């Protein structure tokens, strides 16, 4: 298999992906009698239908976007009566998002719409081509964002720790020659803020 020697081909792929994402974020079409769902909210509705009620943070992890983006979409779905918020038995301060019967009906109509669209492409794009394209995008996402979430220093330290049979934290302590003191409440707040910022900006484009 040939290796990628230039960023040109990758740039062209990203341009097409961005253009397609913008097109998919356009106004939804469909039968007004059963309502309509924008592509981003449609994917969330499908997740709720297939996996049951979910908390916003988990939906964000599955969708590979920030909690804020998911919360905006959930608020939109709730306003339209497609989802409802219920108590989370595992977390008193959290709620679960559940698809309503109205949401299920609207999603069924959206599925019919997608099936008609897929039928219109019959004979133009094969299932094998679609499967290969999806696999390539999944691989790129894993490599690009997986590498971005771990700094070179962290990767190096983690690798060395694994070789020595130690955890990364143990390796860090040994490197300094002493145990680090427990962080103060102010330091902990700064760390939490930094993690929140990283989470909100980990993707350059929201597909909602």
* pLDDT score at 97: 97
List the chain pLDDT tens, one digit each, 208 residues.
Answer: 555 557 888 889 989 988 888 777 665 555 544 456 887 788 999 999 999 999 999 999 998 889 999 999 999 999 999 999 999 988 888 899 999 999 999 999 988 888 888 888 878 888 899 899 999 998 988 888 775 555 445 445 555 544 455 444 454 444 444 433 444 444 444 434 444 443 433 343 444 5
List the CATH code of the domain at 12-124: 1.10.10.10
* pLDDT score at 27: 59
**Contact, 35 vs 78, CB < 8 A?**
no
What count of residues does the chain have?
208
* pLDDT score at 90: 86
Neighbours of 30 (CB within 10 A): 16
Residue 85 DSSP SS3: strand
* pLDDT score at 148: 55
- Distance, CA of 192 to CA of 14 (rounded, Å): 32
* pLDDT score at 149: 54
DSSP state of 1: -
Q: Which helix (H) or strand (E) holds 95?
A: strand 95-99
**Contact, 171 vs 164, CB < 8 A?**
yes
Query: Which of these, 81, 38, 9, lies nearest to 206 by C-alpha position?
Result: 38
* pLDDT score at 113: 84
Residue 73 DSSP SS3: helix
Indicate the pTM of the whole model: 0.57
- Residue ranges, CATH 1.10.10.10, the chain: 12-124
């Amino acid at each position: 298999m040939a290796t990628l020697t230039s960023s040109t081909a990758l740039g062209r792929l990203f341009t097409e992906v961005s253009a397609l994402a913008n097109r998919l974020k356009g106004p939804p079409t469909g039968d007004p009698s059963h309502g309509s769902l924008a592509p981003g909210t449609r994917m969330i509705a499908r997740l709720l239908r297939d996996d049951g009620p979910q908390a916003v943070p988990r939906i964000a992890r599955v969708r590979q976007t920030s909690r804020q983006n998911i919360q905006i979409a959930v608020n939109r779905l709730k306003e339209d009566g497609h989802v409802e918020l219920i108590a989370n038995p595992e977390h008193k301060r959290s709620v679960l998002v559940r698809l309503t019967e109205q949401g299920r009906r609207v999603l069924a109509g959206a599925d019919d719409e997608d099936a008609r669209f897929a039928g219109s492409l019959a004979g133009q794009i094969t299932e094998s081509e679609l499967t290969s394209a999806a696999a390539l995008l999944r691989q790129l996402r894993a490599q690009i964002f997986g590498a971005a979430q771990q700094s070179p220093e962290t990767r190096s330290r983690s690798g060395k720790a694994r070789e020595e049979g130690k955890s990364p934290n143990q390796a860090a302590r040994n490197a300094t020659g002493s145990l680090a003191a427990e962080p103060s409440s102010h330091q902990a707040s700064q760390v939490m803020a930094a993690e929140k910022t990283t989470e909100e900006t980990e993707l350059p484009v929201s597909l909602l």
